[in-house]
Chains A and B, each alone.
Chain A
Amino acid sequence: MEERRYRSASGASIALRRRQHSASCRELAVRCPRLRLRSLSAATSAAWLAAYGLFALTENSMVLSAAIIVTLIGLIVYLHFMKIDQELLLVIGSLGIQVTSVYASGKESTTFIEMSQVKDVVINEAIHMQKVIYYLCILLQDPGDPQGVSEVVPLFQSSKPRLDCLIEVYKSCQEILEQRKTAPQSSGIK
C-alpha cells in the first residue's frame, strides 16, 4: 500500500492510495480534502447573519428558527448527497471494475461493471465548466458491435485529479486489463 499526494484540476490537494491485493486485483482510492471547519463556520455564520439582519428588519422570530432549520437541513443534504470524500476504484482482472463513491456522511454508492462489458480504460479531454480537463473513463463494450462503444463511464468525477495522477491510475488499470487480454489469447492459440 502506498499513498501519494497530487493536486486536483481546481488546485486542491488530493491523495491517491494504491493497494495491491493480488497480481490481478488492485484498489485505487482518491481522497479529497475533508470539509474544513473554517468553510463550514463561514457558511453557517453568513446564513445566520443574513437571517439576523432580516429579523432586525421584520422583527419576526420565525426568521431565526427558519434559518437554523434551513442550515441544518442544508448541511445534512450537502454531506449526504453532494460532498464526496473518497472515490474508490477496485479493479479485479477476472471479475470486473467496481466504482465506489464515499460521501462525507458515510453513505456509499457503488456501481459494478462486469469485465466482459469493459472495452478499455482511457484518458480523455473534455470541456468542463470554464476549463478543459483530462479525465479517466471506462469504455463499455457495445454488445451488438465488437468495435463499438455503447457508453462512457467517467471516473473520479468529484475529485477531478490532474493528469499526472490520472496517468498513474491509467497505468495500474492497464496492467490488469492487459493480463486479461493476454491470458485467454495465449491459452487459446498455443
Chain B
Amino acid sequence: MASGVLAGRSHSVCMVSDFFYPNMGGVESHVYQLSQCLIERGHKVLVVTHAYGCRKGVRYLTNGLKVYYLPLKVMYNQSTATTLFHSLPLLRYIFVRERVTVVHAHSSFSAMAHDALFHAKTMGLRTVFTDHSLFGFADVSSVLTNKLLTVSLCDTNHIICVSYTSKENTVLRAALDPRIVSVIPNAVDPTDFTPDPSRRDDSTVTIVVVSRLVYRKGIDLLSGIIPELCQKYPELHFLIGGEGPKRIVLEEVRERYQLHDRVRLLGALEHQDVRNVLVQGHIFLNTSLTEAFCMAIVEAASCGLQVVSTRVGGIPEVLPESLIILCEPSVKSLCHGLEKAIAQLRSGTLPSPETVHNKVKTFYTWRNVAERTEKVYDRVADEVVLPMDERLDRLMSHCGPVTGCIFALFAVLNFLFLTFLRWMTPDYIIDVAIDATGPKSAWTKQYFLGKKGRVKEQPPSSKNAQMERKEHISC
C-alpha cells in the first residue's frame, strides 16, 4: 500500500503538541493516527511533546514513529509554560537533526505548539497549524487567547480546521485570510466501533450519553430531559458514561425522581470501553452547547445507534440528515427529538445497525485525512517562508500597534538567540538522526553492521524494545 501512493513528494514532518499519549483525548489520538497514516504514505513523521512523569527522552512507537518527550515544565492542564525562548535550543536541535521540512502544530491550547511555530518561522521552516477547538469572543480569557492566536497564526503558512464552523470561528478569531485555512475533519477508526445488536435489550429503549459531565456538554439540559421522558415512557432507560463536576446534578435528579433502576451513571470510561457501552443502547443523545467537530456522534453512529443531537457548532456538518435528528439546545426541543426517535424505533422504520455502520465507515477514515493533509503539505512546500523583514511588517500591521511591536521585538530577539545558538553549535556539528520511520526504516535495514550477523536475526522491533526497556530503568 505504501509503495502505491509514494508518487508524491516525501516530507519530513514534525508534529508538535503538548497533548500526546499517554495523555488521553481527541487531539492525542488525532496526532497519533494522522502520523501513522502519513508514515504509511511514505513520509517521515516525528512527534514532539513534553515529558509525562517519568516518560521522557526519545521513544519509538509502532512503525518507527519517533516521539520526543522534552523535559519542559508543565504549567496548567498539561500545557507547558511559555517564555517563547526557553524551548528554542532543544527544538532547534531536533529540527536540525531530523532535517524537518514542515512543522505541524496542534491545538490552540498548547503553548508548546505556539512556541514551535514561532521558532520554526525564525528558522525559516514551513508551518502548518491544526485548530481543534471553538472559542468564544466575549470573556477576558478568550480575548487574550484570541490575541495570541492572531500573533501566532498571522505568518503561519497554512491552517487546518476540523469543520467549517471551526474554520469560520478561527478565521474570525485570528483575523486570517480564509484562503489559507483548510477544513479536514477528524476521523474514527471504524473497526473499533462495530455494532453488536445482541448486546442490547430490545424489550426496553436505552438512551446512551457518553461525554464529560461538564457545563459545555449541556449536562443541565440532560438533567431536564431525564425526568420528563422517564415519566412519559416507563420502559425508557438512560446509560450515562463519563465523569465531571456536573455529575452531582444528575445524581440529584435521580434521587428526586427515584430513578435509580433506570438511570445508570457509569463514571469515567476508558477509551476501549466506550464501544461496549455504546452497543448497549438504541439511541445516542448528545447535548453539547458548543462543539467544533463531535467525534462522539460519529462513533455512536458507527455502532449503529440513532443519534439525537443539538444543532450547535460544527455538528450539522458531521452526519447526513438521515442518520441524525437535530434539535435546538433546549429541553423541549431535545425531548421532541427523542420522542421522534423512540417512535421511529418502535415502528421499526430505523435502518438496521449494520447498514448504518457500513454507511458511516466510509465517511471519516484516517487514510482520507492523511491524504488531504498531504495535499496541504505539498501546497505549503511550494510557498515561500516570509523573510525576516516581511515577517516583522506582517506582525506590526496585522496584530495591532502595541502587541505587534512587542512580538516583532520578540521575533528579533528570537532570531538573535538563534544566531547565538548557531554560533555555539553550528548545524554541521549536529548529528543527523537515523531515520527510523516506516517499514523501510534503519531498524529493518542492515545499518550498523556491515556483516551478516545479529541485526538480521533479531526482529526489527527488538532494538526499539531494548531502548524502550532501557528508558524504563533510567526513570
How far in angstroms is the closest Cβ of chain B from A81? 24
A-B contact count (CB 8 A): 74
**Separation of A131 and B93 alpha carbons in the complex (Å):** 6
Contact yes or no, B57 A127, CB < 8 A = yes
Residue among B93, B425, B448, B463 making CB contact with A171, cutoff 8 Å: B448
For chain B, the count of residues having a C-beta within 8 Å of the partner chain is 30
How does the 8 Å CB contact mask read for A69-111 relative to B, with 1 for contact and 0 for none?
Answer: 0000000000000000000000000000000000000000000
How far in angstroms is the closest Cβ of chain B from A123? 8
How does the 8 Å CB contact mask read for A35-46 relative to B, with 1 for contact and 0 for none?
Answer: 000000000000
Q: Does B70 contact A (CB under 8 A)?
A: yes
How far in angstroms is the closest Cβ of chain B from A23? 15
Residue among A132, A151, A178 making CB contact with B97, cutoff 8 Å: A132
Asked whether A152 and B473 contact (CB < 8 A) given A127-B70, A132-B94, A178-B453, the answer is: yes
Chain A hits for B467, CB < 8 A: 122, 124-125
**Separation of A137 and B470 alpha carbons in the complex (Å):** 10
Q: Does A20 contact B (CB under 8 A)?
A: no
Chain A hits for B466, CB < 8 A: 120, 122, 139, 149
Contact yes or no, A174 B470, CB < 8 A = no
**Separation of A171 and B447 alpha carbons in the complex (Å):** 11
Chain A hits for B70, CB < 8 A: 127
Q: Does A26 contact B (CB under 8 A)?
A: no
For chain A, the count of residues having a C-beta within 8 Å of the partner chain is 31
Provide 27 A-B residue pairs closer than 8 Å at the C-beta atoms, listed in order of the A residue. Answer: A10-B425, A10-B429, A11-B426, A120-B466, A122-B463, A122-B466, A124-B467, A126-B57, A127-B57, A127-B58, A127-B68, A127-B90, A131-B93, A132-B58, A132-B90, A132-B93, A134-B431, A139-B470, A151-B473, A152-B470, A152-B473, A163-B431, A167-B448, A171-B448, A174-B454, A175-B451, A178-B453
Interface residues of chain B, those whose CB is within 8 Å of chain A, are 56-58, 68, 70-71, 89-90, 93-94, 97, 425-426, 429, 431, 433-434, 448-451, 453-454, 463, 466-467, 469-470, 473-474
Interface residues of chain A, those whose CB is within 8 Å of chain B, are 7, 9-11, 120, 122-127, 130-134, 137, 139, 148-152, 162-163, 167, 170-171, 174-175, 178
Question: Nearest 4 A-B pairs (CB), nearest first?
Answer: A130-B89, A125-B58, A163-B431, A11-B429
